[in-house]
Amino acid sequence: MFVQFDDGQNSIIARGGPSMSGLRFFTGSIDGSNRVSARVDPTSQSPDYQKGYRTLAEKFIPGVTAEQASAAAAQHAQGVNKGGNGYGLNTNSNSYAADVAEPIFGWRPGDDLTPGFQTHLQDSAPLPAPVFNTDALASILRDPL
């Protein structure tokens, strides 16, 4: 899962994923060295750019830029990257996306196709409260196909 912040002029994606890829993904998953990694990028620089997705939740928050809305996600990404969360079925990109979405929507979006969404990731610092009006801005939680 990923969260997309779009204010009509700028679009930003907050996403998580494994810290390892290829063969190292499998060996790291077995020995526990594969960790959840999180990042916040302009949409065109995200691995999710121009890939299929399904929308799980959507909310409009007026008067806020995508950059302002994604600031808490970027701070949480830094903490998650220091938090040492093992990557697996219950702690993964869905966990990070749900962590980011929960203060915006008031609930953790996810379903049977997004395992791990129920799990809060360890952060080196607590997830900050949004510094914007959560009744404005288009924050769109999407699940890659």
Question: Is residue 22 helix, strand or coil?
Answer: coil
Q: What is the pLDDT of residue 33?
A: 93
Residue 126, pLDDT > 60, answer: no
* CA distances to 30, 45, 53, 58 from 41, in Å: 29, 6, 17, 19
Mean pLDDT of 25-35: 92
Residue 53, pLDDT > 70, answer: yes
Mean pLDDT of 31-41: 95
Instruction: Quote the tokens at residue 106.
Output: 């008031």
Note the pLDDT tens digit of each residue in 102-125. 999 999 999 999 999 999 999 884
Choose the weakest-confidence range: 3-12, 40-49, 132-141.
Answer: 132-141
Burial label, 74 (beta-carbon count in 10 A; 0-12, 13-18, 19+):
middle
66 vs 10: CA distance, rounded Å: 6
Question: Is residue 55 helix, strand or coil?
Answer: strand
Asked whether 116 and 87 are in contact (CB, 8 A), the reply is no
Q: What is the pLDDT of residue 83?
A: 87
Residue 128, pLDDT > 90, answer: no
Q: Give the predicted TM-score (pTM) of the model.
A: 0.83
Note the pLDDT tens digit of each residue in 12-24. 999 999 999 999 9
Q: Which residues contact 50 (CB under 8 A, 6 or more apart)?
A: none
